[in-house]
Amino acid sequence: MDYRFREHDIAPFPGGMSPPSHPLVPARMRDWLDDVQAVTTDDGRHLMERLARIHAAFERVHPFLDGNGRTGRLLLNLVLCRLGYPPVVVARRDRDRYLKALRQADAGSPGMLGEMIARGVLDNLYRFVVPAVAEPASLVPLAALASDEVSTVALRTAAIRGRLKAVHSEDGQWRSNRLWVDEYLASRHQRLGS
């Protein structure tokens, strides 16, 4: 791949987004970098919405001939990690929603994209960070206990049916711990094998 800035203009994209003329790209990227460097967790604004604006701004500049989406998401993740958050993965199944959120951000409404970023951060906290730091007997949301062997939906169903020891907390979430999930999985395998 060639990562020099593009040297030609690009036609407007579906939905109306029109990248700047190619001579403006270096200046727009310098401005974008200044905006990125100014981001902190304590600047008094909603961080995820600000990151959505910054991510959408990169995509609007569309500085390269190819790979702008992947590069933009990678840069978003570098900023998230710099701020102490886990990276966000935009799954293939969420591509249409992501593109719609980008179009809304281009139109001045970054809320949907900010929400996608926030949910992605939360999902990765539950999936990777919480299990890594939680004691085996600590109650954590079921999403933090899901694995390749058992999904969050399967754990929730097992909790509702009383097959998995779990606590339904006041916030509406089911919580369990690694020990209880291991017991449930062992008993499930015994039932399947009988």
- Residue 22: active-site member: no
The one catalytic residue among 22, 55, 62, 168: 62
Query: Are 108 and 56 spatial neighbours (Cβ–Cβ below 8 Å)?
Result: no
Tokens 């990169």 sit on residue: 58
174, β-bridge pairs:
168
Q: Is the dihedral of CA 32, 35, 41, 46 positive or negative?
A: negative
Question: Which residue stretches of the chain are H helix?
Answer: 25-37, 47-61, 68-82, 95-106, 111-124, 130-133, 152-160, 178-193
Record the tokens describing residue 66, joined without a space.
């190819």
Distances (CA, A) of 139 to 36, 148, 155, 184, 188: 37, 20, 14, 15, 21
Report the catalytic residues: 62
